[in-house]
Every structure is written in structure tokens, then in C-alpha cells.
Amino acid sequence: DQQVKQNSPSLSVQEGRISILNCDYTNSMFDYFLWYKKYPAEGPTFLISISSIKDKNEDGRFTVFLNKSAKHLSLHIVPSQPGDSAVYFCAASSFNFGNEKLTFGTGTRLTIIP
């Protein structure tokens, strides 16, 4: 039962343009949503998060949008840079007796074309 889904396994975007990565979820009890970036041979690096009570959070070139009614979130990167080429994981956070549990999507490989 995949509670967090990223339906696009890969995405190619021209340098300087906007990259949009999408994520869908099924559990309405998630408290926070996060995006992580992963380079080969490295662990996931936290990028940006959004509370379930917000609809937008922005940090520099990265903006995350949350549509709770559609159970959908997206990550916008603008302008895209070659260093943004990586695998991006969407993750959803839930809490159980004060302990956080992250559920990850399957990832989207983003390639920025110079």
C-alpha cells in the first residue's frame, strides 16, 4: 500500500526553466510534507518542508505547494541549475506518541539540460 506516490520516475528540464515535481498521498493524517534531494553515493538531503495547515512555503529557488483537497503537493525549482540534477524524494511525516515516522515516495530523477 503506497501511501506516498511520485508518478513520474524521471523529468528533464532545460537550464534556467522551471522544474515541477509532483507527489500524491492517500493518508489525510500526515502532519508535514518534505522534499529531499539525493545525489548518487550520498544520503538524502533535506530541501524544504510544509505543514499540513499551510498551502505554500518558499525558500529561495524552491517553493512547495500543498493542495489538501486533492492530496497533492508539488515542488517548483526556478530557475533550474545543472547542480539540481538529482533524485528528488517526497516524504510525508506522521507522529505516533511523539515519534516521527517518514513515509517516502519512490522518487523522481531530475536532469537539468545545460
Partner 1 sequence: DTEVTQTPKHLVMGMTNKKSLKCEQHMGHRAMYWYKQKAKKPPELMFVYSYEKLSINESVPSRFSPECPNSSLLNLHLHALQPEDSALYLCASSQDMGQGFQPQHFGDGTRLSIL
- Told to check if 27 binds partner 1 by CB under 8 A, we report no
- Told to check if 30 binds partner 1 by CB under 8 A, we report no
Binding window for partner 1 (CB under 8 A); candidates: 19-27, 53-61, 71-79, 98-106: 98-106
Q: Shortest approach of partner 1 to residue 45 CB, angstroms?
A: 7
- Told to check if 97 binds partner 1 by CB under 8 A, we report yes
d(CA 57, CA 15): 23
- Name which of 29 and 114 has its Cβ closer to partner 1: 29
- Name which of 13 and 47 has its Cβ closer to partner 1: 47
Neighbours of 5 (CB within 10 A): 15
Q: Shortest approach of partner 1 to residue 12 CB, angstroms?
A: 18
d(CA 50, CA 3): 17
**Torsion angle of C-alpha atoms 54, 93, 21, 23, degrees rounded to 10:** -90
- Told to check if 83 binds partner 1 by CB under 8 A, we report no
- Told to check if 58 binds partner 1 by CB under 8 A, we report no
Binding window for partner 1 (CB under 8 A); candidates: 20-28, 67-75, 76-84, 91-99: 91-99
Question: Which of these, 99, 90, 91, 87, lies nearest to 42 by C-alpha position?
Answer: 87
Burial (CB count within 10 angstroms: exposed 0-12, middle 13-18, buried 19+), residue 77:
buried
Residue 106 grid cell: 519512490
